Structure 1
């Protein structure tokens, strides 16, 4: 049977006191999407509110981004279903891309938490990249423990946020992950870095999106 991947994406298009425009970062969507599609996986995209999910930083010098925009993935982004209708049964993995958008509507979202905890508890793969791991901060498993507690994870670093969106975000992702007991690690700003701890895969920044997808594929094909 084909493997099935669930993308959970943000519906937010502004963030912070200055109302900075944002969305789901195209690179962090397109590269994993194309990797999963090349592997022959089925991919469904659900957003927090449903409808058209916002995309940020449309970099057209990247052939993978261009391919995605000309592919069925872009159409799926225009017509997402709400996460309120998601059941994780039948999916093998969930992926949360970054961009600043998920910082707005995911950390406190109980439906997002339920999707991620249910996927992990049933033996599936949970993955996220860049700011996407904000979705993991408050996720608790059926035993009451935080999903990230004691696990090796990464995500957008304080050093990276300093020169990117420090004034726009309400908290530092690196600090929040550590506060939940995560074994957070990072590399130099903007360098590719993705890590796997069992069935949990995280990436630090946009350059890490492909690495996250490759690790998810590695788990599913093992």
Structure 2
């Protein structure tokens, strides 16, 4: 079975602090079900670990509503701290969008090293 690590933001504000941030809910929910329905195992990590903030939840979107009730969402709310992850255990990494990503990941040395390691191992890096 293939394993994918979703890496989401840990911040709830943009760098200036003027805008609410977090991962974009549908950008986790939609690909999560695509991967799981094709037999992939999905795990979640964030810079700080724990419950990452999200924005853009729309209960009228069927996939988002289903994800919020899913085991995946429950596990996401206890995301692994990225520094504790053995990246070699994964076949791919995926970065769901959202403004938070541009705040806590763009200059993060661990994120850059993780991307480099996955890419140089001829594995998939997606966003």
Task: Give TM class, smaller chain.
Answer: over 0.9
Alignment gaps of 5+ in structure 1: 129-222
Q: Tell me the alpha carbon deviations over residues 156-212 of structure 1, each in whole angstroms, 9 at most, x when there is no partner.
A: xxxxxxxxxxxxxxxxxxxxxxxxxxxxxxxxxxxxxxxxxxxxxxxxxxxxxxxxx
Residue of structure 2 equivalent to 1:125: 124
Residue of structure 1 equivalent to 2:43: 44
C-alpha distance in 1, partners of 2:69/2:81?
Answer: 23
Q: Tell me the alpha carbon deviations over residues 27-62 of structure 1, each in whole angstroms, 9 at most, x when there is no partner.
A: 100000010110111111000101101111111111
Residue of structure 2 equivalent to 1:5: 4
Q: In the TM superposition, what are the counterparts of 1:81-92 in structure 2 within 5 Å?
A: 81-92=80-91
Residue of structure 2 equivalent to 1:32: 31
Residue of structure 1 equivalent to 2:70: 71
C-alpha distance in 2, partners of 1:102/1:19?
Answer: 15
Residue of structure 1 equivalent to 2:105: 106
Q: In the TM superposition, what are the counterparts of 1:186-197 in structure 2 within 5 Å?
A: none
C-alpha distance in 2, partners of 1:62/1:108?
Answer: 33
* Higher normalized contact order (CA 8 Å, seq sep 6+, divided by chain length): 2
Alignment gaps of 5+ in structure 2: none
C-alpha distance in 2, partners of 1:87/1:29?
Answer: 21
How many residues end up aligned between the 2 structures? 127
**Aligned residues of 1:87 and 1:115 also touching (Cα < 8 A):** no
Assess, with a 3 A threshold, how the Cα gap between structure 1 residues 18 and 116 changes in structure 2: closer, same or farther: closer
Three-state SS of the structure 1 residue aligned to 2:36 is helix
TM-score by length of 1: 0.56
**Structure showing greater Rg:** 1
